[in-house]
Amino acid sequence: MDEKLIYTNRRGILLHVISIGSMAISIYLLYLLFGNIHDLVSELPSKNFGYFIVVLLTLLVFVIPVFIIWLHGRYVLKIIKTVYPNEIAVTTWSFFGNYRTKKYPEDIFSQAKYKKGKYLNPDGVSVDAPWLKITTPDNKILIIDLQGDIMDDKILKY
């Protein structure tokens, strides 16, 4: 019996572009924020309010990069049914480009939790990005983007 492709996702390169872009933008925004911190604080009604705004903006700058780092090792790019019975190999995205493949029992899909990933906004952008949340035996969360290509829906069922 040969290995069989169950799922593939071609967004690895896009994730690299987004992660590098968001890191660059974050560094630039921090440079702008802390380059003129005294001018920014002096323009606001009080120093305490000014420092509160600086802390708030600093936290907001880091939201997307922190989420991208969290995806490292969790965002599934490929699932292969191995030659061994009831075993799958899962390849996950890595921020540094060296994708990791780990083997898991096939029954991890039995506990998959479906997430709609819907956001409807009649006045602007709406989102339809369904995904699966899978917990591995070592309690690691894996994210399977259901807009990837599912080759075998008998194994990957939700």
Would you give per-residue pLDDT tens digits along the chain (158 residues)?
A: 688 999 999 998 999 999 999 999 999 988 888 888 878 778 888 888 888 888 898 898 888 889 988 999 999 999 999 999 889 999 999 988 889 999 999 889 888 899 998 888 888 888 888 999 999 999 999 999 998 888 877 777 66
Q: Say what the pLDDT of residue 145 is.
A: 93
Q: Which long-range contacts (CB under 8 A, 24 or more apart) does 10-16 make?
A: 10/148, 10/149, 11/77, 11/145, 11/148, 12/77, 12/93, 12/99, 15/68, 15/71, 15/75, 15/93, 16/95, 16/97
Q: Tokens 């924020």 correspond to what residue?
A: 33
Q: Say what the pLDDT of residue 33 is.
A: 82
